[in-house]
């Protein structure tokens, strides 16, 4: 039985990723910042399979280390890390920019680094970074983002551009260990982050799970959506 860790697993798309992975027969650690919400979500998903709540805050390294230590104690390896958690906030204040980059870039990268020893113990270790088409250069250069420069809320798209860059760097550095690292774009999904507009969380989750399964013995350092591989 494979072992997975999914951040932001207590709601929205992450919740559905946990469900689908558990239904596929994995032991899934459902990570959430709020311990009680994680416990409630894991209980709701217990019928899908082996779902275990764990507290993990991407702004708290100690919580990351504690979560990894628990997985090591119980499983002694990690097969799949899904960096799903993320935030989108309007505004350009230093606090907003710091919060977005911590959740969308610094936290996921550090968590991946901390998980490397357990991923190395897997026969098919892989990492899936949930990114966004909003971080693609073609999107940033499109007319969609033509707006008053004083209201150019750049934290979210640029944090995803940076996450894409980190994906390539991690893929290259972990290739010798046989660990695959890919990014995916689930598209506009009806969650709090998108204002409840777009495809269903289950549909968005299916893309993430597909990339996770593809990368088990497949390519690394790529960016994928529901149509296949896309440019950065």
Which residues are catalytically annotated? 154
Of 100, 208, 85, 93, nearest to 162 by C-alpha is: 100
- CB-CB neighbours of 98 under 10 Å: 13
Tokens of 46: 């217990």
Q: What is the DSSP string of the chain?
A: --EEEETTTTSHHHHHHHHHHHHTT-EEEEEESSHHHHHHHHHHTGGGS-EEEEE--TT-HHHHHHHHHHHHHHHS--SEEEE----------HHHHHHHHIIIIIHHHHHHHHHHHHHTTSSS-EEEEE--GGGSHHHHTSGGG---GGG---HHHHHHHHHHHHHHHHHHHHGGGT-EEEEE---SBSSGGGTS-SB-HHHHHHHHHHHHHHTTSS--S-EEETTEE---
């Amino acid at each position: 039985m494979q072992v997975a860790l999914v951040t932001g697993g207590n709601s929205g798309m992450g919740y559905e990723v946990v469900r689908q992975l558990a239904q596929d027969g994995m032991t899934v650690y459902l990570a959430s910042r709020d311990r009680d919400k994680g416990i409630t979500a894991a209980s709701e998903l217990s019928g899908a399979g082996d779902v275990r709540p764990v507290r993990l805050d991407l702004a708290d390294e100690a919580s990351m280390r504690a979560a990894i230590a628990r997985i090591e104690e119980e499983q002694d390896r990690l097969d799949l890390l899904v960096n799903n958690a993320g935030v989108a906030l309007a505004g350009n204040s230093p606090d907003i920019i710091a919060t977005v980059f911590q959740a969308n870039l610094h936290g996921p990268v550090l968590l991946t680094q901390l998980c490397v020893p357990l991923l190395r113990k897997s026969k098919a270790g892989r990492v899936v970074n949930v990114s966004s088409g909003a971080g693609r250069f073609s999107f940033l250069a499109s007319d969609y983002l033509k707006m008053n420069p004083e209201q150019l809320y750049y934290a979210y798209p640029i944090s995803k551009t940076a996450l894409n860059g980190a994906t390539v760097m991690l893929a290259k550095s972990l290739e010798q260990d046989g660990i695959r690292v890919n990014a995916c774009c689930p598209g506009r999904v009806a969650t709090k982050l998108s204002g409840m507009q777009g495809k269903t969380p289950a549909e968005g989750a299916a893309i993430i799970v597909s990339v996770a399964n593809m990368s088990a013995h497949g390519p690394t350092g790529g960016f994928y959506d529901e149509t296949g591989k896309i440019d950065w």
